[in-house]
Amino acid sequence: MSGHMEPGMDIFAAIDRTALKKRSTLRAWMAENYVAFKDRLQTGKPDWSELAKVFVEAGLLDARGNKPTAEAARKTWYRLKADTAKLASTTQPPKIATTPSAAAGRPRPAKSTPPATVPGPDDDEGGYDFFKPAIR
């Protein structure tokens, strides 16, 4: 790369091409294929040694930029699952009970009863006329 850049050249593209070593393509692949990979793993007990061989053959790298080992692949998957679950729990709105039976176990706030009469502006009990101009 020469000492100066052409005007209008995308600096980030130049950085990506020359200055950054690709890291954790394994995690990126797992994230892109999260649902399908999760479903596949649920059909049986994963053999992480065999999975690591598949990932190496596919050219994927671990977080350090190395060929993934069985342990690195397993840890990468479980960290991604934990991060995904944490993100899902913080982005979902709270669940609201829609049936009386679901809400029955929750304490309800105490009901307050309004006073029998509301003092008027001329009452001696502290009523105030908010529409009257303030005296300064």
Q: What is the pLDDT of residues 14-51, one digit of tens each?
A: 777 776 666 779 999 999 999 999 999 999 999 999 99
- The pLDDT score that the predictor gives to residue 105 is 62
- The pLDDT score that the predictor gives to residue 10 is 79
- The pLDDT score that the predictor gives to residue 14 is 77
pTM: 0.53
Q: Strand, helix or coil at 6?
A: coil
Residue pointed to by tokens 């091409």: 17
Q: How many Cα neighbours within 13 Å face the side chain of 23?
A: 6
DSSP 66-81: SPPPHHHHHHHHHHHH
- The pLDDT score that the predictor gives to residue 77 is 97
Show the low-confidence residues of the chain (pLDDT under 50): 1
